[in-house]
Amino acid sequence: MFMARVLYLLRHAKSSWDDPALDDFDRPLAPRGRKAARALAVHMDHKGISPGLVLCSPARRTRDTFDLVRAGLPPATKVRIEDQLYGADPADVLRILGRLAGDLASVMVVGHNPTMQKLALALAAPESGLERLTANFPTGALAELSFPVDHWDKLAAGTGQLTAFVTPKDLK
């Protein structure tokens, strides 16, 4: 049976730069980022977002973001820390997705820019309303793309529909 695929691309929430000596990998969320992630959790719960799997970068700010948005997802949501997402480019993310099981209907990737924005722009069909996404993919933003394919390894440039794009400012 054919089942479309839904991909959620979540950029980590606003991180803190309070400690300039801290390694990039170890930067925590700023208070503004924690607030945005909590608002996003409420949004996800309200919209019924329920990915079959979450792939999260191992960086602290992505894990902290996911820890807060997780409250808006079903309790049984499966999560995998994917080391390759830290420093990944869009092709790396596509390779990771291409190895996923065919029975997964939806996946959320919690990662970093510019990768999240570049990947969304590459995968979305030009007619799917990309103006806001082209202008900016701010911290804490979530893009939802739908694909008429039966397996994750068939994701290709211009084949997805951007079905939703929400930023922290939208949730105020």
CA distance 57 to 61: 9
pLDDT, tens digit, 9 for 90 and up, residues 27-59: 999 999 999 999 999 999 999 999 999 999 999
pLDDT, tens digit, 9 for 90 and up, residues 2-24: 678 999 999 999 999 988 889 99
Cβ proximity of 55 and 10 under 8 Å: no
Pairing relationship of beta strands 53-56 and 106-111 according to DSSP bridges? parallel
| Structural domains present in the chain | 5-171 (3.40.50.1240)
CA distance 86 to 83: 6
Residue 1 has pLDDT above 60, yes or no: no
pLDDT, tens digit, 9 for 90 and up, residues 63-96: 999 999 999 999 999 999 999 999 999 999 999 9
Residue 62 has pLDDT above 60, yes or no: yes
Tell me what pLDDT residue 2 has: 60
Model confidence, pTM: 0.96
pLDDT, tens digit, 9 for 90 and up, residues 110-160: 999 999 999 999 999 987 678 888 889 999 999 999 999 999 999 999 999
